[in-house]
Structure 1
Amino acid sequence: MLPQTRRALLHRIAVGQAEGRTPSLVGAVMRSGRMAWSGARSMIEGHAPDANVQFRIGSITKTFTAVLVLRLRDEGLLDLADPLEQHLPGTAAGHATIRELLSHTAGLAAEPPGPWWERTPGSLRPELSELLEEQPFRYPAGERFRYSNPGYALLGALVARLRGEPWGEVLHHEVLEPLGLIRTTLLPQAPHAGGFAVHPWADVMMPEPLTDTGEMAPAGQLWSTAADLCRWAAFLVGGDDKVLAAGTLAEMRRPASAPEGDWTLCHGLGLEVKRQDGRLLVGHTGSIPGFVAGLWASESEDLAGVALANVTSGTSTGTIAADLVRIVAEHEPRFPAPWRPFTDADPSLLALTGPWYWGTRSLAVHLRAGGELELREPASASAPTRLRPEADGSWTCLDGYYAGEPLRVGHAADGSVSHLDLGGLILTRAPYGPAEAVPGGVDPTGWHAG
């Protein structure tokens, strides 16, 4: 990276460490699939952790658990619409679906009963039944978003049940080892940071216990490094067929339920989706006594920021991670791939391109390289809708407002394209024309002054 970029990144880390009153703070940037920068500051002048020092990552662990569940789905061992009871019987949350647990819409309690699970040994809850109250639902399943740590503990137990071995072992040989995340572990391995609590009203601190959370581990147990999390961010953006296909990662990155209004944060399947600084970020934040962590990635820029600190609270590592993305994007914007034409355009696809109208509302069909179609609204700043061809000659919309809707091509008597049927909306080549394709007909006098 350019010297001024590196200085701006290190300055952000230094400000975060000083203003956040954290013993140490390490940051890193993933660009184009690899760690492109790392830097750190600590309370000891001239001595700071590097990108190979482990920190606890708290709820970023959930992104790993979600990947294991999606692997089971892709192998046909479960469906996301299945109730938990079908694969993990005997819990008080049995009627919640796997999708609801992944997206925090199951309505479960935020925390397990009993003492603070993050600061007490997991041996206090040796059984799955002890992760939930007798009536654990705070809202009806599927009704609304409610973040739930026990929900992800149950997903980890589901993985263990279907694989026949502990969640941590499945994670190691199915995800960590194939991706080369050799410094991501269930328990700390040297070199690792110690976790500290800093007094909110005095510049003093004390150590936090480094607990093994047992059955709650899938919700927030993992230790990792800035370097490993850069590799993880590259995977979350691009996928890796050894672990999970790019298409499944794209599914995880989409909001699980349509956010309302001018939203800034929502959840996909195991991933958080965030709007900040005019860009769309995916990732997760983490907090566990003694540590806070943040990972945010921009798919469009193939860029991610990671921030790890060893303090219980007061340092917004999520904001810092997003700022690292912004700094690089502003100082060194990504060059787009050069435009190139393609020479094998299908004439039948070319016939679909150009402007179409639903009444007076304009849309446009674009043909992209490889025979892919996109549907755009020229008057809107929203992203285009991708269209997937189906065996019967229709297309299915994959994104945005029209996601899931079929697009069918209508033909005139001479075989030419006359109109498009977009889920019941009739699109014509001119506003309200031709008359026979427009429900309700068209005034025979046509367009006139009044």
Structure 2
Amino acid sequence: MLESTEHALLRRIAHEQAACRAPSLVAAVVRDGEIVWSGGRGRVGDAVPGTDTQYRLGSITKTLVATAVMRLRDEGLLDLNDPLENHVPGTPFGAATVAQLLSHTSGLTSESPGLWWERTPGADWDALVGSLAEGATKHRPGAKFHYSNVGYGVLGELISRHRGKDWLSVLDEEILGPLGMTRTTPHPVGAHADGFAVHPFADVLLPEPHPDAGAMAPAGQLWSTVTDLGRWTAFLGGDDGGVLSPDTLEQMRTMVTVDDSDVWTTGFGLGLMLVRYRGRRLAGHTGSMPGFLAVTLVDPAIRTGALALTNSTSGVGITQLALDLITTTEELEPHLPAEWQPSTVDPALLALTGLWHWGPTPYHLRIQGDALLLAPVEGAGRGSRFRPTGDDTYVGLDGYYSGETLKVGRDGEGVATHLDLATFVFTRTPYDPAAPVPGGVDGWR
């Protein structure tokens, strides 16, 4: 990157580390699947932290657990609408679905009963589920967003039962290994930062414990580095490495529930936190454990993201820091769109493009990559992309018609005369009398 850009990015993290009194802080910017800048401030021992210094990820762990669950879905081993009872029978909250657990809409309690789980050694699954025998469900499943660390302890058990091994081994074999994330571990290994609480009224530190969380570990156990978290940020931005299909990753990044309903800036998809900021839609997650804060956010549209890790219990504005790093990068070195190049298009598909009408309202149908885009000619409206599923049959990918079927109607000579989209009939001219418009067409007056 330009020297001026690098200085601006370093200045931003230097300010955060100094103003928020973080013992140490590391950060990076990711573009097009690669770390293009990284920096560190403060000290870990006697050294400035680097890209191989481990910090605890906290709840970013959940994004890897969610990815393992989605792999099970893609293999046909579960359906997102399955109740938990189908896969982990015998719990008092078995009516909650897999999707609800992923999106924090299951209604499960936020924390496990008993002692503060983040600061005490965790028990096994039997002890956890036993502690949840009464009062575990705080809200009707599906009723509202309610962040649940317990829900991810449950998903870790679901993964283990399907794979016949512990959830950590599954992550190692199916996700961390294939992506080359060799420095992401359940406990610190090699160079790592110790976690501290910073006194609110004095410049002194209190060491924080980091015990094994047991059955609650899928909610926030993992440690990682800038290098590994940079690879994960690239993954969330679309550099999937064969671990997930692009469609599944996009499904994870699709809003399921809004967190702050008054201003609608944050929410959750399937295992991913979603942020809307200055016209951008970002995906990722934050992490918080005693002694540590972490964040990864990426804008999939331009594949620019940022991450930050610090060994302070609180005080650092870790999410805003990541947003500022992305904004600074894009302001000083704007993302260059890919060069436009002509492509090969099926002539039969090309013949479908152009002007169509939903009643009297004009729409344009155009080819966009491997999909068709049907959108109003003017103003906002029911626009969606469609992907072919068979001869003259397409399925909606997003927008109002997501999941709905579009069929092409043709005359005896094979000419497309109308589009049947979820029973709505689109015609080449407004209410074409030659097309099967329900209710008939009596002519314009």
TM-score above 0.5, yes or no:
yes
The structural deviation recorded for 1:217 is: 0.5
| Alpha-carbon spacing, 1:292–1:278, altered in 2? closer, same or farther (3 Å) | same
The aligned residue for residue 420 of structure 1 is 419
The structural deviation recorded for 1:316 is: 1.6
Distance (Å, rounded) in 1 between the aligned partners of 2:263 and 2:366: 28
Is the contact made by 2:258 and 2:268 (CA closer than 8 Å) also made in structure 1?
no
Distance (Å, rounded) in 2 between the aligned partners of 1:95 and 1:45: 49
The structural deviation recorded for 1:237 is: 2.1
Is the contact made by 2:419 and 2:425 (CA closer than 8 Å) also made in structure 1?
yes
- Equivalent residue runs for 1:252-267 within 5 Å: 252-256=252-256, 263-267=264-268
The structural deviation recorded for 1:311 is: 0.8
The aligned residue for residue 347 of structure 1 is 347
The aligned residue for residue 329 of structure 1 is 330
Is the contact made by 2:125 and 2:157 (CA closer than 8 Å) also made in structure 1?
no
Distance (Å, rounded) in 1 between the aligned partners of 2:21 and 2:330: 27
Which residue identity does 1:406 align to in structure 2? Answer: T
Is the contact made by 2:144 and 2:257 (CA closer than 8 Å) also made in structure 1?
no
The aligned residue for residue 307 of structure 1 is 308
Segment of structure 1 superposing worse, 81-90 or 251-260: 251-260
Report the secondary structure of 1:7's partner residue: helix
Which residue identity does 1:162 align to in structure 2? Answer: H
The structural deviation recorded for 1:51 is: 1.3
Deviation string 1:255-286 (CA, Å, 9 cap, x unpaired) is: 23589786321211111111112111000001
1:81 aligns with 2:71: no
| Alpha-carbon spacing, 1:152–1:234, altered in 2? closer, same or farther (3 Å) | same
| Alpha-carbon spacing, 1:360–1:386, altered in 2? closer, same or farther (3 Å) | same
Distance (Å, rounded) in 2 between the aligned partners of 1:45 and 1:134: 46
Distance (Å, rounded) in 2 between the aligned partners of 1:33 and 1:215: 33
The structural deviation recorded for 1:288 is: 0.8
Distance (Å, rounded) in 1 between the aligned partners of 2:138 and 2:408: 47
The aligned residue for residue 2 of structure 1 is 2
Is the contact made by 2:238 and 2:246 (CA closer than 8 Å) also made in structure 1?
yes
The structural deviation recorded for 1:65 is: 0.5
1:175 aligns with 2:175: yes
Deviation string 1:332-382 (CA, Å, 9 cap, x unpaired) is: 122222212224x33322222112222343321112455x31222343468
The structural deviation recorded for 1:128 is: 3.3
The aligned residue for residue 293 of structure 1 is 294
The structural deviation recorded for 1:164 is: 1.5
Percent identity (aligned):
50
Distance (Å, rounded) in 2 between the aligned partners of 1:395 and 1:124: 47
The structural deviation recorded for 1:412 is: 4.0
Which residue identity does 1:404 align to in structure 2? Answer: G
The structural deviation recorded for 1:20 is: 2.0
Distance (Å, rounded) in 2 between the aligned partners of 1:331 and 1:382: 34
Segment of structure 1 superposing worse, 361-370 or 403-412: 361-370
Distance (Å, rounded) in 1 between the aligned partners of 2:201 and 2:439: 70
Distance (Å, rounded) in 2 between the aligned partners of 1:428 and 1:375: 13
Is the contact made by 2:44 and 2:192 (CA closer than 8 Å) also made in structure 1?
no
| Alpha-carbon spacing, 1:382–1:130, altered in 2? closer, same or farther (3 Å) | farther
Is the contact made by 2:33 and 2:239 (CA closer than 8 Å) also made in structure 1?
no
The aligned residue for residue 67 of structure 2 is 67
Deviation string 1:63-92 (CA, Å, 9 cap, x unpaired) is: 010111112222222222221111112222
Q: TM-score, normalised by structure 1?
A: 0.92
Distance (Å, rounded) in 1 between the aligned partners of 2:12 and 2:242: 35
Distance (Å, rounded) in 1 between the aligned partners of 2:201 and 2:444: 78
Distance (Å, rounded) in 1 between the aligned partners of 2:164 and 2:71: 15
The structural deviation recorded for 1:171 is: 1.6
Query: What CA RMSD, in Å, does the superposition of the two structures yield over aligned residues?
Result: 2.5
Distance (Å, rounded) in 1 between the aligned partners of 2:131 and 2:75: 28
Which residue identity does 1:211 align to in structure 2? Answer: P
Report the secondary structure of 2:390's partner residue: coil
| Alpha-carbon spacing, 1:20–1:393, altered in 2? closer, same or farther (3 Å) | same
The structural deviation recorded for 1:441 is: 4.5
Deviation string 1:294-347 (CA, Å, 9 cap, x unpaired) is: 10011111111001111111112111112211111221122222212224x333
Structure 2 residue ranges without an equivalent (≥5): none
Segment of structure 1 superposing worse, 75-84 or 298-307: 75-84
Distance (Å, rounded) in 2 between the aligned partners of 1:360 and 1:313: 57
Distance (Å, rounded) in 2 between the aligned partners of 1:425 and 1:257: 29
Which residue identity does 1:180 align to in structure 2? Answer: G
The number of residues matched between the two structures is: 444
